Chain A
């Protein structure tokens, strides 16, 4: 079975984003970029399924500029077999990305599509669901456990009150939650080998996908900073502040 995994290049989760003074967006220049943490979990899950024998090929896909090649190489070093970059210089938004993934799915015909539950930059949490809808496939979001057979995926999901288990008939879309697995690190030999694995670039125009952003970002500002608090000396002082100053207990 072929699995397609979508990965996104985002600001590293440890980096503190800086809002540009002109309000046009977040300044990413000179900051470290990495694979979105949820996508690392998606790649890891695909690799584990391949190691268990049920998956035969892992194809990675990313949508963006040439710079996205680095996260695809990372994914190849972690165990992906080959990679596809859908190249565009336009800012990417979930609906356009979903359409690009659909175009790749129509060509590649995977049985399972795995994505992260959300990207930590736009925090949208939409792409997997949108892709599933456009393909007419069932979905399981926020997966914390995936059991795969040749016909179905039984997925345990993290929902608000606990866990829920669903069975999807393949082909299907799964989005990963934090607890699905612990991603491995790429070893140096695997990083070297990944450089020789196939990485194909196709332009969004060749796929006939309209990636033009549909949401207009009017401005981006920093949230109001909380004003500095005080350090209290002991529990009695804390209770006094909460009762008499903040009046919250």
Chain B
């Protein structure tokens, strides 16, 4: 039995979710290998080799993988798939895009967003926006999984696995990368931040999110947003926390001016401590909040910020 983890990275460093995914992979039993497919990604492969428990790193280095093209990445994984009983990757935008392609071409089902490993063929996944947890069993010869990083701790970094270069697949001629516009942020990555301060429609404007940014910077946290705040144009899409945005489970989640629709709760209700600041005492968010403060956020947030300064 051997497990292949497909690493998520930006050709410079591993994305933190890869560490959580290795933890899930180790729970399956068997040797864990990590595939680093990228362009000029030797540094990433070297980093992957230091993850505790990893037996071998496979490096597929070529321009075809420069932008994480799902067609090429799926083809690369398929070349290796028959040697493995399990293929595992983080359930982020990249993993969600390429992994089902691999599963279909292997005629395997995929179990998405695994939050717990019961045994090597049985897993727990949330369904219905996290309102139910399904235990599913997969009898396919190659078990294909995407892993929700908040379900597993990050693996340690004291390994020393060998790195092996492998042949790179040919490029797909029918999908071409044109451009990207990434949101610049010096704050911790939203899905891995220990503290998340999120704002909703109650923030009133994008300008007012500066209040939350100041508070987040003071606490070393990240800023998130509800769908209402994103739809209103207050914040970019990639700040959205919820069923269709990012799933977070920080130590502390502060929901400011967020009512608490089920689609939002799906993205944050596994946080260790939830704080809600809302002027409506009947807002559903108070039903999941450990600490609720019924107050005008425009007074409470600056007061909180100055008290913590």
Contact = CB atoms under 8 A, between A and B. Distances in A.
* A and B form one complex: yes
Interface of A: 11, 13, 16-17, 19, 26, 93-95, 98, 117-118, 120-134, 137-142, 144, 154, 157-169, 172, 177-179, 214-223, 226, 228-232, 234-236, 238-239, 241-242, 246, 248-249
Given A95-B103, A139-B71, A235-B293, A144 B128 contact: no
B35 to A, nearest CB: 18
Given A17-B132, A162-B180, A163-B181, A124 B104 contact: no
Given A123-B127, A130-B104, A166-B176, A215 B132 contact: no
A229 B179 contact: no
Nearest to A121: B128
Q: Which of B136, B183, B290 has the most CB of A within 10 A?
A: B290
Nearest to A175: B97
Given A123-B127, A246-B252, A134 B182 contact: no
Contacts of B109: 93-95, 214-215
A217 B179 contact: no
Contacts, number: 248
B219 A249 contact: yes
Contact of B130 (A16, A215, A221, A223): A223
B122 interface: yes
B75 to A, nearest CB: 10
Contacts of B174: 137-138, 168-169, 172
Nearest to B146: A125
B254 to A, nearest CB: 9
A121 B131 CA distance: 10
Contact of A239 (B104, B243, B307): B307
Given A123-B126, A123-B243, A239-B307, A161 B182 contact: yes
B237 A158 contact: yes
Contacts of A246: 252, 272-273, 290-291
Interface string B201-245: 000000000000000000100000001001100001110000110
Given A17-B132, A130-B103, A132-B101, A125 B96 contact: yes
A159 B70 contact: no
A177 to B, nearest CB: 7
A155 B138 CA distance: 34
Contacts of A166: 175-178
Contacts of A16: 131, 262
B220 to A, nearest CB: 10
Q: Which of A120, A125, A128 has the most CB of B within 10 A?
A: A125
B238 A161 contact: yes
Contacts of B178: 154, 165-167
Contacts of A139: 70-71, 97, 101, 175
B125 to A, nearest CB: 8
25 contacts: A11-B128, A17-B128, A94-B100, A95-B110, A117-B244, A120-B129, A121-B127, A122-B127, A123-B112, A125-B96, A138-B172, A139-B97, A160-B191, A161-B183, A179-B230, A219-B134, A220-B133, A223-B130, A229-B290, A229-B292, A231-B281, A231-B286, A242-B252, A246-B273, A249-B252
B251 interface: yes
B175 A239 contact: no
Nearest to B17: A160
B263 interface: yes
Q: Which 4 A-B pairs have the closest CB atoms?
A: A129-B100, A130-B104, A138-B175, A126-B100
A17 B131 contact: yes
Given A169-B174, A214-B108, A242-B275, 14 more contacts: A11-B128, A17-B128, A26-B127, A94-B109, A123-B113, A129-B97, A137-B174, A138-B174, A169-B173, A178-B244, A218-B137, A231-B291, A235-B300, A235-B304
